[in-house]
DNA sequence: AGTGAATACTCGT
DNA sequence: GTATTCACT
């Protein structure tokens, strides 16, 4: 569950960014999330044990996206459960099994939709799914590694050793484990929220100036973590106060007791175990091919035989087999993917990479783990065609001074190809931002699609921290060229940035947009068949309207025109976005048998 | 104000 | 795993 509320608390240490900032670097990937999200759309097949390749396609598309931006991923998968978490793990398994039964009943009753939703609820990323994905990763030359226990700790270790430069994850525990650079909320286009530990003292919600990692760790533990529940009524803020007044975690607990907090008996032992687990959990060192601790045991650490909660000391051969995904991290037995219900349906062709891979001597697989240059060259970006744009709305954010009223309302020529409506925005934050939405309509002005959210423009620009220079040129279709730097050759279409919405709860922003926000650009197509409006038309119309506007107004409007023009064409897009499909029936998402 | 329980979401059409 | 809302202290 991570640390509840930690990421909002540390919002000042995070910024909007893009993975391409990590080009030419190795980045660890907490792969569980991609397995899980990828399985979401094929929850039924996964639940029934039917062959599907959808989750593999999802995973590989994201993997190729990283490579497209020159980022060299090292995929880290979760391994076995820590001894202390085994019981809760079993409990979860039982709950899942129950719901799966329920889902299967619904399925047999032909209640497809209900069954689908139930299958989604009991969805689980299994070692078997990881194995299938890993075989494809190997076939495409990606590096990977199965952690002996938790991927969080493994990622922290890899970064601490300089093997990776950052970690892609959704888990706030990485902060507690001491990671420096964490890429949160990565979307399919590479946009993300980037945590930078060097900025951690900027935190405003609590004063952590001068705090050590140990103090931050204690605060998190006392507020409740995976290894230790919090005392009732204690969250991050109160934990902060106790840690601030204490020299160690025992003293903090003592102060809580003195305040009348109902602290469980032997709570000191509990939080101390948690502290030690964050400090010393066992991880895999890919260089020595041995288990090590996430950081070296300190002199005052308890003897190792008194810390079984760090995970077993596995035999090096076993540890390596787990890391290379030769064996299941739970039972140390080789995978048997052939025992699927319909292995006969499995086509021979696509299975070949897997087979040939298996024949290879282990050394070769191990080499992939350590040979950085092997797969690090980004694939040349070839173009595809952007499909289905009109089925989506697109949101963009552009920087702007507050737009002065009166707002321009619907343009008089309603029959024109493009209708741009402007609304004023009330200045809300110091950093003004405008959101733009495009919508496709048919001849009757019916909205063709009201789908919310496309992150099309999320890739537009990284944030600039200084408010004075918060605006930058956009390179909307930059991705095929080198695009390290803001493109100065870009036509003067105004300035654009992904907004640093510190109030950045997307749904909240969308709500505001519905009611009062800024600028809405709507395309009205003459055809009933939604058809892209020509960029030229868009540009002309915008330009004619711009003349009547004050500079403050016209600036964002130019952006609208530019953005709109970019995407009303069939746009060249990078290959990874074209989503290659793997042959159906190729993979076997076995659920773990019990 | 801070905590914590409840709920929705993760895909892709 | 997260984010968001809302009731309770």
Q: Which is more confidently placed, A515 or A281?
A: A281
Say how far A6 CA is from B4 C1', in Å: 15
| Cα–Cα distance, A99 to A123 (Å, whole number) | 10
A8, closest nucleotide (Cα–C1'): C3
A578 — pLDDT class (breaks 50, 70, 90): low
- Residue nearest the C1' of C2 (CA based): A170
Whose C1' is closest to the CA of A2: which nucleotide? C1
3-state SS, A304-346, equals HHHCHHHCCCCCHHHHHHHHCCCECCCCCCECCCCCCCCHHHC
Residue partners of A216: CB distance under 8 A and separation at least 6: A175, A176, A200, A208
Q: What is the pLDDT of residue A167?
A: 98
* Bases of chain B with protein Cβ within 7 A: 1-4, 10-13
Tens-digit pLDDT profile for residues A159-183: 999 999 999 999 999 999 999 999 9
Average of per-residue pLDDT values in chain A: 68
- Protein contacts of strand C with Cβ less than 7 Å away: A 1-4, 6-8, 152, 170-173, 184-185, 226, 505-508
| Cα radius of gyration rounded to whole Å, chain A | 26
Residue A249 has pLDDT above 90, yes or no: yes
Most confident by average pLDDT, A86-95, A175-184, A435-444: A175-184
User: Cα(first)–Cα(last) distance of chain A, in Å?
Assistant: 25
Alpha helices (H) in A223-266, listed in sequence order: 236-244, 249-258
Pairing of the two strands A181-184 and A191-196? antiparallel
Peptide bond into A565 cis (omega under 30): no
Query: CA A326, C1' C2: Å apart?
Result: 31
pLDDT surpasses 90 at A511 = no
Collapsed DSSP state (helix, strand, coil) of residue A538: helix
Measure A267 CA to B6 C1' (Å): 27
DSSP lists the bridge partners of residue A523 as A418, A440
Write out which nucleotides of chain C lie closer than 7 A to a protein Cβ.
1-5
* A363 token code pair: 């050394």
Give Cα A481 distance to the centre of its chain.
24
* Tokens, residue A432: 């003004």
* DSSP class of A416: S
Give the model's pLDDT for residue A587. Answer: 53
Whether A188 has a pLDDT exceeding 80, the answer reads: yes
Give the Cα separation of A310 and A228 in Å (integer). 14
| Highest mean pLDDT pick, A76-90, A432-446, A511-525 | A76-90
* Alpha carbon distance A198, A140 (integer Å): 35
Q: Which of A42-51, A239-248, A493-502, A549-558 is modeled with the greatest confidence?
A: A239-248
Per-residue pLDDT of A324-339, as tens digits, reads 999 999 999 998 766 5
Higher pLDDT, A97 or A250: A250
pLDDT at A50: 87
Residue A468 has pLDDT above 60, yes or no: no
Percent of chain A's residues with pLDDT above 70: 57
CB–CB of A524/A417 below 8 Å? yes
Nearest nucleotide by C1' position to the A175 CA atom? C1
Distance from CA(A186) to C1'(C1), angstroms, rounded: 13
Distance A133 CA to B12 C1' (A): 20
Protein CA A227 to sugar C1' B4 (Å): 18
Run of H or E including A441: strand A433-441
Confidence of residue A589 (pLDDT cuts 50, 70, 90): very low
Q: What is the dihedral of CA A441, A446, A451, A452, to 10 degrees?
A: 90
- The number of CA neighbours under 13 Å toward the Cβ of A422 is 27
> Residue A93: what pLDDT?
87
- Residue whose pair of structure tokens reads 């999802």 in the numeric block: A58
Nearest to A588 by CA among A244, A347, A252: A347
Tokens of A548: 């009547």
Q: Is the pLDDT of residue A537 over 80?
A: no
Q: Å from A507 (CA) to C4 (C1')?
A: 9
Rounded mean pLDDT, A54-73: 93
Distance CA A151, CA A287 (A): 17
* Alpha carbon distance A85, A226 (integer Å): 9
- Reduced to 3 states, what is the DSSP secondary structure of residue A214? helix
Note the pLDDT of residue A88.
Answer: 84
In Å, how far are A1, A227, A241, A248, A300 from A6, measured between CA atoms?
11, 16, 15, 20, 29
Q: How confident is the model at residue A94 (pLDDT cuts 50, 70, 90)?
A: confident
Instruction: Name which of A131-145, A164-178, A230-244, A454-468 the model is least confident about.
Output: A454-468
The average pLDDT across A392-421 equals 28
Half-sphere exposure of A144 (CA within 13 A, CB side): 29
Gap from A234 CA to B1 C1', Å? 13
Contact A269, A84 (CB under 8 A): no
pLDDT in the model for residue A307: 97
According to the model, what pLDDT value does residue A591 have? 38
Confidence tier at A92 by pLDDT (50, 70, 90): confident
Select the more confidently predicted residue: A374 or A382: A374
Structure tokens given for A336 = 């048997």
Which range (A88-102, A243-257, A341-355) has the least confidence? A341-355
C-alpha to C-alpha distance for A371 and A72, rounded to whole angstroms: 12
Weakest-pLDDT range from A106-110, A340-344, A449-453: A449-453
Residues lining strand B at under 7 Å (Cβ) are: A 5, 33, 36-38, 40-41, 54, 57-58, 120, 188, 205, 223-224, 230-239, 451
Mean pLDDT of A108-127: 92
User: Of A104-113, A164-173, A312-321, A358-367, which range is least confident?
Assistant: A358-367
Buried b / exposed e along A112-139 (16+ C-beta atoms within 10 A): eeebbebbbebbbbbbbbbbbbbbbbbe
The Å distance, CA of A5 to C1' of C5, is 14
Q: What is the mean pLDDT of residues A312-319?
A: 96
Q: Nearest nucleotide (C1') to the CA of residue A36? A: B10
């Amino acid at each position: 569950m991570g640390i509840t509320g930690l990421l909002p608390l540390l919002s000042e240490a995070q910024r909007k960014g893009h993975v391409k900032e990590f080009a030419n670097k190795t980045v660890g990937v907490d792969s569980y999330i991609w397995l899980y999200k990828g399985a979401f759309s094929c929850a039924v097949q996964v639940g029934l044990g039917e062959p599907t390749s959808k989750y593999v396609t999802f995973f590989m598309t994201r993997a190729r996206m990283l490579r497209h931006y020159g980022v060299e991923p090292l995929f880290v998968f979760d391994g076995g459960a820590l001894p202390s978490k085994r019981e809760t793990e079993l409990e979860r398994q039982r709950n899942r099994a129950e719901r799966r039964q329920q889902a299967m009943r619904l399925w047999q009753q032909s209640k497809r939709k209900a069954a689908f939703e139930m299958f989604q609820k009991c969805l689980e990323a299994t070692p078997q799914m990881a194995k299938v994905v890993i075989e494809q990763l190997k076939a495409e030359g990606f590096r990977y590694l199965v952690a002996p226990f938790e991927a969080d700790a493994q990622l922290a270790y890899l970064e601490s050793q300089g093997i990776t430069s950052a970690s892609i994850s959704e888990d706030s525990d990485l902060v507690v484990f001491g990671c420096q650079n964490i890429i949160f909320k990565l979307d399919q286009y590479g946009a993300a929220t980037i945590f930078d530990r060097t900025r951690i003292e900027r935190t405003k919600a609590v004063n952590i100036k001068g705090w050590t990692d140990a103090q931050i760790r204690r605060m998190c533990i006392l507020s409740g973590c995976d290894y230790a529940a919090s005392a009732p009524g204690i969250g991050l803020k109160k934990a902060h106060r106790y840690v601030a007044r204490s020299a160690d975690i025992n003293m903090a607990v003592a102060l809580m007791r003195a305040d009348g907090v109902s602290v469980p008996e032997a709570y000191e032992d509990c939080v101390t175990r948690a502290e030690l687990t964050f400090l010393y959990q066992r991880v895999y060192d890919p260089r020595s091919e041995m288990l090590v601790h996430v950081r070296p045991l300190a002199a005052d650490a308890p003897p190792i035989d008194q810390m079984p909660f760090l995970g077993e000391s596995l035999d090096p051969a076993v540890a390596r087999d787990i890391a290379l995904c030769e064996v299941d991290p739970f039972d140390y037995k080789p995978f048997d993917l052939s025992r699927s219900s319909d292995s006969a349906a499995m086509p021979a062709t696509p299975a070949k990479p897997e087979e040939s891979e298996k024949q290879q001597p282990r050394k070769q697989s191990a080499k992939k783990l350590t040979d950085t240059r092997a797969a690090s060259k980004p694939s040349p970006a070839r173009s595809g065609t952007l499909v289905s744009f009109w089925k989506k709305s697109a949101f963009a954010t552009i920087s702007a001074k507050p737009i002065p009223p009166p707002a321009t309302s619907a343009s008089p020529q309603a029959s024109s190809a493009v209708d741009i409506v402007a609304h004023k925005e009330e200045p809300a934050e110091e950093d003004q931002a405008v959101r733009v939405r495009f919508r496709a309509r048919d001849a009757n002005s019916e909205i063709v699609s009201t789908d919310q959210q496309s992150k099309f423009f999320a890739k537009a620009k990284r944030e600039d921290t200084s408010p004075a220079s918060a605006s930058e040129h956009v390179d909307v279709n930059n991705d095929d060229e080198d695009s390290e730097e803001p493109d100065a050759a870009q036509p003067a279409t105004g300035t654009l940035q992904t907004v640093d919405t510190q109030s950045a709860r997307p749904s909240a922003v969308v709500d505001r947009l519905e009611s009062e926000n800024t600028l809405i650009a709507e395309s009205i197509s003459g055809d009933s068949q939604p058809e892209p409006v020509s960029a030229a038309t868009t540009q002309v119309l915008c330009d004619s309207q711009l003349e009547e506007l004050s500079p403050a107004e016209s600036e964002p409007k130019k952006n609208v025109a530019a953005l709109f023009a970019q995407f009303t064409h069939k746009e060249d897009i990078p290959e990874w976005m074209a989503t290659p499909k793997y042959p159906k029936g190729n993979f076997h998402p076995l659920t773990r048998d019990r």
